Amino acid sequence: MGIRVLTALLWRRTIQSCCIVAILDISSVAAVSPGYTGKISFDVSQVAFSRYGSYLAFSHLHEGPMGDGLYLRSLHRGVRSEVLRVDLIDGGKVLRFREMATPTILRLEADEGFIEICISEPGLIRLRGRGVGIRLSKPPDAAGFAFQRDQIHWEFNSAQQDIRFMLTSLQGTLRVERDWNGTFAKIMTAEFLPVVPAQQFDAAIEEFQSGWRERLYADSFEGAAAGVEREYQRWLATMPTVPGEFQATAELAAYVNWSAVVVPEGNLTRPSMLMSKNWMNAVWSWDHCFNAMALMASDPDLAWDQYMLMFDRQSAEGALPDSLTDRQIYWAYTKPPIHGWALAWMMRHSDSVDRKRLAEVYSPLARWTKWYLQFRYDDHDGLPEYDHGNDSGWDNSTVFRDRPAIETPDLAALLVLQMQTLSTVAGRLGLVRESEEWKRQADDLLRRLVSAFWRGNHFVALGSFDDSIVESDSLLLYLPIVLGKQLPESVRLKLIADLKQPGQFLTANGLATERLSSRYYESDGYWRGPIWAPATLMVVDGLESSGENEFARELKLRFCRMAARSGLTENYDAVSGRGLRDGAYTWTASVFLIIAHELPH
């Protein structure tokens, strides 16, 4: 069986039969595209130029530390760190140039000549140029210094980023200017230049931490670039099929996810897909689940690494950290317990979640669930709470506009699903009593959820301790739809009817995260209006579990068409569909690949 046919089979989801939703006009979807080419280009002011495994990236920043321009950036520590500004020069004159990025080569082209850049290995940048030179400048306020090692090597210690670089001239000349104040250099510029202006230079920049080992660069620039291209094509060969109208966006999504992976280092115990290589240079403990889901059919091992990454750093009490980078673990918040929902989804979509993997995850997932029952049960009323909006993942949702510590129906719903998943896993592992106990707890929490939060004809949230009602127009209060037919029919049908109502949450692009009529709605209000990929997928999954397949399909189509127009951004203006915030976000790319693949089925 061919790779693409196998992938399609693994990604396919069984769709339940249902009645057609008369209120929506379901547009036709073009035939499935024949496959990925890798022949894409992108704007490095929106999508970073990087590669699988690397902590290095090139981005055009309009407000960089040395003004508008192209920068080499280090992604260690999860902070946006500009290491060197990049300029093209001719005879000392700075030139205007155009940036053209493909998945394997960044080309900088001026009228006088060109530079090509390839990240040939995770820590190695190869450069070549003809007719022009390249100047690399340290931002004046960044701590760092440089010194000469020999005729062709200069070491640059980027102390502010806690990383070192070896600059090597392979052909042409290397000229470095720097000053020294007894501690650091305010000025540091390095120029790779051809010996004769019309000739070519060839150079390397290698990242290292403690000790640099001299190496021979046996591969030419062409050979190095060809190696990266082969790696990338192997990645593309596993990507899910999508309808033809979405192929170009799927090509971009494939690159965004491939290039966002970094090698294990420090706190990152496994190959880890960052949320972005623009500025969200970390892994958050619900974002990683969506990336795991998207990879489950194409690369089960990498998918499992994404899923288990946070459990590798689980606290003694059972909590998952809010976020991880190679050099920092952040504990001020956590994130919603979607891990049971995500695991159940992966179990439905792939046979690779076998007994060995279930045995690996069972205890950590159980501890994560029990943490909520022990440490987020302050008033002991049987309903868990979020201490802060950030814990919910919907950071500034209007549910939390007046105070922290809120009991919410989405949290209870997610824990119901997590307990049900634990019951299933325990059963498969032969833990019969534990399986029965998880089922009992899930049933009990489901009853409490409906009786406590359903007031009249809608869900509310409750203040911790006093159980005061918290009214909100946030889509967060509709997230219990993820329970599907487990909700009482009257509750489920009312939620669905509200979601279908045009001009409330529903727009031409999908579901806003705040009701459009709310006085708190903001077009660029983060979780107070914009459309988000994870919320879309979770609602769609709940609709399909409710038998509302046509409505779910329409939401998928609207989201995919918006992403095709506006890119794979962190979120979107719900009305215009304009992309907002980070220009290349992996959970958006992952959700796009999942739902675009599902559309023909």
Angstrom distance (rounded) from CA 513 to CA 532: 8
pLDDT for position 30: 58
Q: At what angle do helices 549-566 and 586-598 cross, to 10 degrees?
A: 130
Residues in contact with 433: Cβ distance below 8 Å, sequence separation at least 6, in sequence order: none
**Chain-centre distance for alpha carbon 21:** 32
pLDDT for position 64: 95
pLDDT for position 28: 55
In the chain, domain spans: 3-27+243-598, 56-229
DSSP state of 594: H
Whether the predicted model's global pTM rises above the 0.85 cut: yes
pLDDT for position 80: 66
Q: Which portions of the chain are predicted below pLDDT 50?
A: 1-27
For residue 403, give the 3-state DSSP assignment.
coil
Q: How many CB atoms lie within 10 A of CB 271?
A: 17
| Tens-digit pLDDT profile for residues 569-582 | 999 999 999 999 99
Range 3-27+243-598 classified under CATH 3.30.160.40: no
pLDDT for position 29: 63
Cα maximum dimension of the chain = 81
| Tens-digit pLDDT profile for residues 446-460 | 999 999 999 999 999
pLDDT for position 465: 79
Angstrom distance (rounded) from CA 574 to CA 552: 17
